[in-house]
Amino acid sequence: MKTGDSHRLLLNQGGICLATVSFSVFNYEKTTFTMKKIEAIIKPHKFEEVQEALREAGVHGMTVTEVKGFGRQRGHTEIYRGSEYTIDFVPKTKLEIITSDEQCAAIAKVIEETAKTGKVGDGKIFIYNIEDVLRIRTSEHGDEAL
Ligand SMILES: Nc1ncnc2c1ncn2[C@@H]1O[C@H](COP(=O)(O)OP(=O)(O)OP(=O)(O)O)[C@@H](O)[C@H]1O
Ligand SMILES: [Mg+2]
């Protein structure tokens, strides 16, 4: 079957159409997940410490973005010139790291331990399955492209 082929399965019993199921077939070179994406939202003042710990842990690629967000407390309340203001969005730093499955837990642990202050707003770590990675220069795929 070719990439993008669409197949239609018709379930028919006694002349009554019960269900029509459509599905697509994708032709990835690797079909099993072997990599993860770690997306960590941390306090900006913790970034340098986390970055250094990740370097020592052998992380050799990441994307960093300055972001704004809120969690359960919906930001925080500040007094400014005697009035109370609720600030919905608090500045945070987002790290994105693609790792092999094997290294994922250890790297997430490094971030967790280094970014923790014990106070609200310390951040979150989201983990995703990654289907493939392509190094543009060499056309390497998967783990080899990390
Ligand atoms: N459910 C969510 N979806 C997307 N981003 C989130 C979510 N929760 C938190 N974030 C992001 O993480 C940042 C830090 O969240 P935060 O640490 O305040 O989470 P929390 O659940 O309120 O935990 P805590 O009670 O420790 O403060 C937010 O500013 C936001 O950018
Ligand atoms: Mg919070």
The lowest-confidence range among 1-15, 42-56, 71-85, 122-136 is 1-15
Distance 134 CA to ligand 1 centre (A): 31
Q: Are 35 and 100 in contact (CB under 8 A)?
A: yes
What pLDDT is recorded for position 99?
97
pTM over the 0.85 mark: no
- Quick check: CB of 70 below 6 Å from ligand 1? yes
**Domain segments of the chain: what residues?**
35-145
Ligand 1 pocket member 65 (CB < 6 A): no
Q: How confident is the model at residue 23 (pLDDT cuts 50, 70, 90)?
A: very low
The pLDDT score that the predictor gives to residue 80 is 64
- Residue whose Cα lies nearest atom 24 of ligand 1: it is 120
Q: Which CATH architecture has domain 35-145?
A: 2-Layer Sandwich (3.30)
Please enumerate, as own/partner, the contacts of 53-58 that have beta carbons within 8 Å and a separation of 24 or more. 53/110, 53/111, 53/113, 53/114, 54/95, 54/97, 54/107, 54/110, 54/111, 57/106, 57/107, 57/110, 58/103
| Calpha distance 132→48 (Å, rounded) | 29
Counting from 1 in the atom list of ligand 1, the atom nearest the Cα of 90 is 29
Q: Is residue 75 in contact with ligand 1, taking CB distance under 6 Å?
A: no
Give the Å distance between the CA of 42 and the centre of ligand 2.
11
* Residue-level pLDDT at 8: 36
